[in-house]
A = this chain, B = another copy of it.
Amino acid sequence: MTQADTEPKVSLKSLEQFCRGVLAGCGADEATAAAAARAMMHGTRFGVDSHGVRLLGHYVEALVGGRINKTPKLHTIGGFGAAETLDADHAHGALATYTAMERAVAIARQLGVAAVAIRNSSHFGPAGAYALEAARQGLIGFAFCNSDSFVRLHGGASRFHGTNPIAVAVPVAGQDPWLLDMATSAVPFNRVLLYRSLGNPLPESVASDAQGVDTTDPNETEMLAPLGGEFGFKGAGLAGLAEILTAVVTGMRLSFEIAPMMGPDFTKPRQLGAFVLAILPEAFGDRAMFNDGMKRYLEALRNSPARSDATVMAPGDREWQIAADRETYGVQLDPATYRSFELLATRYGVPLPTAAINS
């Protein structure tokens, strides 16, 4: 919506190469560059552009400044049985969380279910990327994190929780996974910024002024509302669940203790936590029964009657459609991101992403 038609569409492949090249150029080790690029590409591929490649310049600043460790030594510091704690040594959150999910998947293959708590991580981008990784390997995956405060409590009048996402992905035999990746606020703060620049009113019950009173004026918006409007205690409770698993279980910072993502300080690690969980469906019964159940459930869901002005979709269906389109035709970068890419290309001597063949 903010995209001008002047930028050409670029291929996802060249975008990922560009991200990896720039990250390596600023000194990130190979594992960091690969994981951070992969997570951003999840965002860009699935249309979650707020958590896509537009973050590249931000991550470079955090890596160069020292907030994120360019050459971290991740190591297991605790846990037993099906539980493990990973100290990420202030790694990029994508490296930390992909690593944690790999461990959770490996343990769950042995023990049916596994959870990994992550200490000393950093911004991990799209939560769905890590849940999806479990689903790609045949397991049900969960990913949680917290983030700096933007969201009021139900009835609250100050920023308290972050947008604290919850992501879950479920494997579907022969199909793309079921994928839920939701902020526990109704909308992300980027939406407010977008509406501000467009001069449009916000939807009802998603944002509040400085007194915590709902407003549809993006210029009056001081904080976000928890998911649920009048029933926002549910959204706030889900945000609390993410907060407890990622900050309390790990001993990391609570949302209101986290240094602002956008600085000004890019030198100090933010001490973020995160939490992932993996469940092996066949630990509970026959895998064919599970596969048949998912198929029957999704078939019924997708064929369920829709309102005359709407369609029904399974979680992730919209994202898989966008991914298919962008795989084929490439993606158009917004002008601000494109300009930042030009600067990064020059600084690190990395060729700009190239046009998609089919665009």
Chain A positions near chain B (C-beta within 8 angstroms): 78-85, 110-115, 117, 119, 140, 153-158, 160, 168, 170, 178, 180, 182, 186-187, 203-206, 211-213, 227-231, 233-234, 236-238, 240-241, 243-245, 247-251, 254, 256, 277, 279-281, 283-286, 289-290, 293-294, 296-297, 300-301, 304-308, 310-315
Among B114, B157, B304, the residue within 8 A (CB) of A305 is B157
Other-chain residue from B230, B238, B304 in contact with A156 (beta carbon distance below 8 A): B304
A-B contact pairs, 17 of them (CB 8 A): A78-B284, A81-B82, A111-B111, A155-B312, A160-B300, A178-B244, A180-B237, A182-B237, A186-B228, A211-B308, A212-B310, A213-B307, A228-B228, A229-B229, A237-B315, A247-B293, A254-B300
Among residues of B, the one whose C-beta sits closest to the C-beta of A208 is B307
Out of B140, B154, B248, name the residue touching A244 (CB < 8 Å). B140
Q: Is the CB of B297 within 8 A of A231?
A: no
Report how far A205 CA is from B231 CA in the complex, Å: 11
- Known contacts A228-B228, A231-B227, A254-B300: A82-B114 contact under CB 8 Å: yes
Main secondary structure of the interface of A (DSSP, over half): mixed
Inter-chain CA distance A84–B160, complex, in Å, is 38
Q: How far is the CA of A311 from the CA of B211 in the complex (A)?
A: 13
In the bound complex, residues from chain B placing their C-beta under 8 Å from that of A281 are 248-249
State in angstroms the CA–CA spacing of A286 and B78 once bound together: 10
- State the oligomeric state as a number of copies: 2
**Could you say which of B112, B212, B283, B285 contacts A307, with CB atoms under 8 Å apart?**
B212
Q: Counting chain B CB atoms within 10 Å of each CB, which of A170, A244, A300 scores highest?
A: A244
Tell whether A280 pairs with B83 under 8 Å between CB atoms, given A240-B314, A248-B290. Answer: yes
CB pair B294 A248 closer than 8 Å: yes
* Residue pair B229, A284 in contact (C-beta under 8 Å): no
Query: How far apart sit A88 and B93, CA to CA, in the bound complex (Å)?
Result: 42
Nearest CB on B from A213, distance (A): 6
How many whole Å from A263's CB to the nearest CB in chain B? Answer: 24
**Which residues of chain B are near A160, meaning CB under 8 Å?**
300-301, 304
| B240 adjacent to A178 (CB under 8 Å) | yes
Are A115 and B112 touching (Cβ within 8 A)?
Answer: yes
Known: A115-B279, A256-B300. 4 other contacts (CB 8 A): A80-B112, A155-B310, A228-B228, A228-B229
Residues in B neighbouring A158, C-beta threshold 8 A = 304-305
A300–B41 alpha-carbon span in the complex (Å): 36
Which residues of B have CB within 8 Å of A227?
A: 227-228, 231, 234
Complex: A66 Cα to B314 Cα, angstroms: 36
Q: Is the CB of A112 within 8 A of B83?
A: yes
- Rounded to whole angstroms, the CA-CA distance of A178 and B233 in the bound complex is 13
